[in-house]
Structure 1
């Protein structure tokens, strides 16, 4: 009987700890990046890009106009008060041009981080790291939640010092 009570007590403690932990770690919101103009070039070859805005803006402190841009006379004049545009609003007379603009928004920064700090967990060449099938979204949410928990300070420091067109701080 004592053994049964002990097992019951341990089980209850584990459930309480899991419940408390679940309440302390809010769900990760993944945002979809999809440009409607790609459809004019035929069916999508890859799934949409999904990413964590929280990871980039809060954890790594990437400023809004590092990703969102609207250039006038060589200066990025985009502010959070302006509407977020699709890449195709300024780029993309051809599928190749639109694909390059679409990828450089993220890949240019990720590639530079990887060059500076090879152990960084940033997607660069594996298409499915950004183009995530809907069946894998929960797995990506868990991966991002783990990154938020681990606090990759080295990557944050690298981002602060990047000097890439479109990624100035």
Structure 2
């Protein structure tokens, strides 16, 4: 009976270790996420390498600071490693809103709110609003210029 118990105990331990390893792998997050998409192959600037873990762990920025629902409400219940949509899945139009379209909307008496809503359909507009807005808020709150706001500070040189 002793050998059977040892075998059962060993089997249970192996199952536990496998399950724990699988759970860890499911929540592992890349340190650097390349904010890349085929829609940006002709982008004039190099694509940003976003330090996801650094923003979360070192800067203590919660998931809901960037990730939100379709109404713009922060998803504060997210944890590092949770499955989330990529920005492009909702902000579907690549690049920035063309200036010509903005001008046309203004000419047709569109409100600032309507123009802003249209801008958020564009991936780059949404990303820039989120990132630069947060960086500006951080710098103002902390009386610093540590969080970059200039294009070249986030976008590496294009090769």
> Normalising to structure 1: TM-score of the pair?
0.49
Identify the match of residue 74 of structure 2 among 51, 76, 83: 76
Counterparts of 1:1-169 in structure 2 under 5 Å? 29-39=31-41, 43-72=42-71, 75-77=73-75, 79-80=78-79, 81-87=82-88, 89-92=90-93, 95-96=96-97, 97=119, 98=122, 99-124=124-149, 126-133=150-157
User: Are the structure 2 counterparts of residues 92 and 120 from structure 1 closer, same or farther at C-alpha, using a change threshold of 3 Å?
Assistant: same
Question: Is the Cα contact below 8 Å between 1:91 and 1:101 reproduced in 2?
Answer: no
User: Are the structure 2 counterparts of residues 52 and 101 from structure 1 closer, same or farther at C-alpha, using a change threshold of 3 Å?
Assistant: same
SS of residue paired to 2:93: coil
User: Relative contact order (alpha carbons < 8 A, sep ≥ 6): 1 or 2 greater?
Assistant: 1
Deviations 1:37-82 (A, max 9, x none): 345xxx111001113223211112111121122234x633473543
| Structure in which a larger fraction of residues adopt strand | 1
User: Are the structure 2 counterparts of residues 69 and 37 from structure 1 closer, same or farther at C-alpha, using a change threshold of 3 Å?
Assistant: farther
Deviations 1:84-135 (A, max 9, x none): 32245235377323232120121110011122334241111x2111001377
SS of residue paired to 1:129: helix
Question: Is the Cα contact below 8 Å between 2:31 and 2:54 reproduced in 1?
Answer: no
Segments of 5+ residues of structure 2 without an aligned counterpart are 1-29, 98-118
User: Are the structure 2 counterparts of residues 101 and 35 from structure 1 closer, same or farther at C-alpha, using a change threshold of 3 Å?
Assistant: farther
- Give the CA RMSD over aligned residues: 3.0
Cα separation, 1, equivalents of 2:51 and 2:90:
23
User: Are the structure 2 counterparts of residues 53 and 77 from structure 1 closer, same or farther at C-alpha, using a change threshold of 3 Å?
Assistant: closer
Deviations 1:134-158 (A, max 9, x none): 77xxxxxxxxxxxxxxxxxxxxxxx
Structure 1's consecutive aligned runs of 4 or more residues displaced over 6 angstroms after TM superposition are none
User: Are the structure 2 counterparts of residues 68 and 35 from structure 1 closer, same or farther at C-alpha, using a change threshold of 3 Å?
Assistant: farther
Segments of 5+ residues of structure 1 without an aligned counterpart are 1-27, 136-169
